[in-house]
Amino acid sequence: MSSPPSSPLARPADNLLYLTDEQLRQGTEAMFFAYRGFTADPDRILNKISYGRAHHRAIHFINVTRGATVNNLLSILGITKQSLNRVLRKLIEDGLVESVVGKEDRRERHLFLTDQGRDLEKQLSTAQHERMRKAFRQVGPEAVAGFRAVLEAMMDQDMRFLYNDLRNDGS
């Protein structure tokens, strides 16, 4: 295992309880560039089929919340109903998502990935998991735990509840 790259943010001597504006700016930039890398591989796959990141997010969360209602998905994604309907309509038309009328409440639509949808989700998640696995191996378990703790601490409280619900459902 190689040591993490040296940067003003990663110096152990720094008192991380007090960060300078420059260190915070560098952290912000690192996050922007990391996100760009994290989305680059799936973006290439999605571009080939004329989909975007909204489609990817919908596919991801339909996969991890099998049978979730449209309202559940709206809460998770934090987008408008109009935006989600546009994305879902395309995914359903293309045979990636199935919308099933609720048994108890016929007004609800429950969402599931089809076999084709699960195949696409696997391609997208595999690309991201490979990038994460490589980075996690480079920095080691303590850095991975710290990274996860920082991400969780940055979440708004309501998102933290949703995140924990997803983690508990997927365990």
**What is the arithmetic mean of pLDDT over 2-7?**
50
pLDDT at 141 over 60: yes
Q: Write down the pTM of the prediction.
A: 0.82
170 three-class SS: helix
**What is the arithmetic mean of pLDDT over 24-38?**
94
State pLDDT tens for residues 43-91. Answer: 999 999 999 999 999 999 999 999 999 999 998 998 999 999 999 999 9
* Percent above pLDDT 70 for the chain: 88
**What is the arithmetic mean of pLDDT over 128-133?**
96
pLDDT at 35 over 60: yes
Provide the pairing of β-strand 97-101 with 109-113: antiparallel
Domain ranges of the chain: 21-139
Instruction: Give 102's pLDDT tier (boundaries 50, 70, 90).
Output: confident
2 compared with 74, residue with greater pLDDT: 74
CB atoms within 10 A of CB 12: 5
Alpha carbons 98 and 92: distance in angstroms, whole number = 6
pLDDT score recorded for residue 19? 83
Mean pLDDT of the chain: 89
Count of residues in the chain: 171
**Alpha helical stretches, state H, 16-140:** 21-48, 53-64, 70-77, 81-93, 115-139
Fold of 21-139: Arc Repressor Mutant, subunit A (1.10.10)
